[in-house]
């Protein structure tokens, strides 16, 4: 697996972390989270997609998904981190089976002179106490994010007894200390730490994949398909043909196509087109960059050819996409103003 390919994808889909709540909960307690899409605009302004996470600093608790992808309760211990990649509604509580109405007001942005993480104390007067850090990872989901579709509904990782000084454990300890200190710059440090924790969670997930798994991450781990992805991501503007790609890998076109399609879900050149559209969409966010320049950057000889390909895949022209992004930014500024 080439980790640079993963880094390129995380950059191109604009991965960003946030730390929103510093939770102190005493038994009995329960907190129910709505679908992340319902609150993403409040907690991560401008986000296309939000993934919620919970980090257990001390104590223990239970978590289960609700709705269409409901799951059995999963116990979380001190040092565990759980990520809900697809933003499913879920409940976190001191005991399994507890429910409560989602506290939507807790997600509303505070006045401008306040900043997260917000301290949230909840629960009863029981003896048990749990401390959690809760936040969001945001990223682009459109027009193409190969990582999201390869992630499960819920991901949980904890301290490895055989490796007590592993990266994830160190990140968690650092985050806990930084949250407690609340020194100048803590918010920025916590945001960067949350992003590092997400990358480490993805790495741990890749290591746990079995030979029967499919998806983009499984392809990244596969020697042949991973090498193909490295080549395509390393030179996305190159006029790749299936013949040239197979030759670079020392295999036949049919073998490469079959293996790539089985793991990633589409043939290599189709994947390249989709990836080019994601790169282009990100560049279109800059209104000062000409569409013709973007077309050249992603491997098209003419603006017209690029525009046809973009509209076919995305459903709107590059200009329409750029205009929609601009309107979203203006709406976001209006939302911020109302809190002034």
Q: Which of 96-110, 122-136, 229-243 has the lowest mean pLDDT?
A: 96-110
In this structure, the answer to whether residues 61 and 172 fall within a common structural domain is yes
CATH number at residue 138: 2.60.120.10
Q: What is the pLDDT of residue 46?
A: 80
pTM: 0.88
Q: Which helix (H) or strand (E) holds 287?
A: none
pLDDT mean over 183-196:
88
Q: Which helix (H) or strand (E) holds 50?
A: strand 49-58
Q: What is the pLDDT of residue 139?
A: 93
Cα angle value 289/291/295 (rounded, 5°): 115
In this structure, the answer to whether residues 113 and 190 fall within a common structural domain is yes
Report how far residue 117's alpha carbon sits from residue 131's, in angstroms, rounded to the nearest whole number.
13
pLDDT mean over 188-194:
90
Whether the per-residue pLDDT at 222 is higher than 60: the answer is yes
Whether the per-residue pLDDT at 108 is higher than 70: the answer is no
Binning pLDDT at 50, 70 and 90, where does residue 331 land?
Answer: very low
Whether the per-residue pLDDT at 88 is higher than 90: the answer is yes
**Number of residues in the chain:** 340
Domain hosting 170: range is 3-208
Binning pLDDT at 50, 70 and 90, where does residue 326 land?
Answer: low
pLDDT mean over 228-244:
97
Beta carbons of 8 and 231 less than 8 angstroms apart: no
In this structure, the answer to whether residues 187 and 170 fall within a common structural domain is yes
Contacts of 270 (CB under 8 A, 6+ apart): none
In this structure, the answer to whether residues 150 and 268 fall within a common structural domain is no
In this structure, the answer to whether residues 106 and 18 fall within a common structural domain is yes
Q: What is the pLDDT of residue 162?
A: 62
In this structure, the answer to whether residues 237 and 255 fall within a common structural domain is yes
Binning pLDDT at 50, 70 and 90, where does residue 328 land?
Answer: low
Binning pLDDT at 50, 70 and 90, where does residue 269 land?
Answer: very high
Report how far residue 239's alpha carbon sits from residue 301's, in angstroms, rounded to the nearest whole number.
10
Whether the per-residue pLDDT at 254 is higher than 50: the answer is yes
Q: What is the pLDDT of residue 78?
A: 93
pLDDT tens by residue, 281-297 = 999 999 999 999 999 99
Domain stops at, among 208, 230, 262: 208
Whether the per-residue pLDDT at 54 is higher than 80: the answer is yes
Beta carbons of 267 and 257 less than 8 angstroms apart: yes
Q: How many domains does the chain have?
A: 2
2 vs 219, residue with greater confidence: 219
Contacts of 211 (CB under 8 A, 6+ apart): none
In this structure, the answer to whether residues 202 and 220 fall within a common structural domain is no
| 141 inside domain | yes
Mean pLDDT of the chain: 89
Binning pLDDT at 50, 70 and 90, where does residue 114 land?
Answer: low
pLDDT mean over 82-102:
95
| 332 inside domain | no
Binning pLDDT at 50, 70 and 90, where does residue 325 land?
Answer: confident
């Amino acid at each position: 697996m080439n980790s640079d390919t993963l880094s390129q994808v995380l950059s191109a889909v604009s991965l960003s972390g946030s730390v929103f709540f510093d939770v102190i909960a005493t038994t009995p307690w329960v907190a129910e989270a709505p679908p992340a899409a319902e609150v993403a605009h409040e907690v991560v302004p401008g986000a296309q997609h939000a993934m919620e996470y919970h980090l257990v600093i001390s104590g223990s608790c239970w978590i289960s998904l609700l709705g269409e992808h409901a799951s059995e309760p999963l116990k979380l211990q001190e040092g565990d981190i759980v990520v809900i990649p697809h933003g499913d509604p879920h409940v976190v509580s001191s005991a399994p089976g507890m429910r409560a109405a989602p506290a939507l007001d807790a997600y509303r942005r505070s006045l401008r002179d306040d900043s997260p993480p917000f301290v949230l104390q909840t629960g009863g007067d029981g003896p048990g106490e749990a401390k959690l850090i809760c936040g969001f990872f945001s990223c682009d989901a459109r027009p193409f994010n190969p990582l999201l579709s390869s992630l499960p509904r819920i991901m949980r990782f904890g301290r490895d007894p055989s490796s007590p000084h592993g990266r994830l454990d160190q990140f968690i300890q650092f985050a806990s200390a930084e949250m407690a200190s609340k020194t100048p710059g803590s918010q920025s440090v916590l945001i960067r730490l949350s992003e590092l924790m997400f990358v480490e969670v993805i790495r741990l997930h890749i290591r746990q994949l079995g030979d029967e798994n499919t998806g983009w991450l499984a392809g990244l781990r596969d020697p042949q398909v991973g090498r193909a992805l490295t080549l395509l991501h390393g030179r996305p503007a190159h006029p790749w043909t299936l013949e040239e790609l197979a030759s670079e890998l020392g295999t036949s076109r049919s073998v490469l196509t079959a293996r790539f399609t089985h793991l990633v879900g589409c043939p290599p050149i189709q994947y390249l087109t989709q990836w080019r559209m994601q790169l282009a969409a990100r560049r279109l966010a800059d209104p000062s960059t000409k569409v013709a320049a973007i077309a050249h950057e992603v491997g098209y000889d003419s603006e017209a050819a690029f525009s046809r390909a973009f509209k076919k895949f995305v459903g709107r022209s590059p200009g329409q996409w750029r205009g929609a992004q601009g309107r979203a930014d203006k709406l976001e500024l209006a939302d911020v103003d109302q809190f002034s």
